[in-house]
Amino acid sequence: MVFDMSSGMIRGLGTVVVAVAFIGLALWVFSPRRKAEFDDATLLPFKDDPEAIKHVEQEQASRSKKNV
């Protein structure tokens, strides 16, 4: 059996691959299990400034209280 892949077929498969990757990435980013990891990552720019870290943590705490 000979399977001829036209440029339309290749483009269609490429679109499906990109769509699946996008959906997978979106699910990974917005997963509640990743929230703690991403909250820690938000503090990386302030790693050398303990006062800034304290301020950001207070903001996150006040935001989480509002969302409850």
Give which of 44, 29, 36 is closest to 60, Cα–Cα: 36
Q: List the chain pLDDT tens, one digit each, 68 residues.
A: 556 778 888 899 999 999 999 999 999 999 999 988 988 888 888 788 888 878 888 888 887 777 65
Torsion sign (Cα): 1, 9, 25, 32: negative
Q: What is the pLDDT of residues 57-66, one digit of tens each?
A: 888 888 777 7
Q: Are residues 59 and 46 in the same domain?
A: yes
Q: Are residues 63 and 37 in the same domain?
A: yes
Residue 20 to residue 35: CA distance in whole angstroms: 22
Q: Are residues 3 and 25 in the same domain?
A: yes
Q: Are residues 37 and 21 in the same domain?
A: no
pLDDT value for 68: 57
Tell me the residue range of the domain where 6 lies.
1-30
pTM of the prediction? 0.57
Q: Are residues 59 and 40 in the same domain?
A: yes
pLDDT value for 38: 87
Q: Are residues 66 and 37 in the same domain?
A: yes
Q: What is the pLDDT of residues 24-33, one digit of tens each?
A: 999 999 999 9
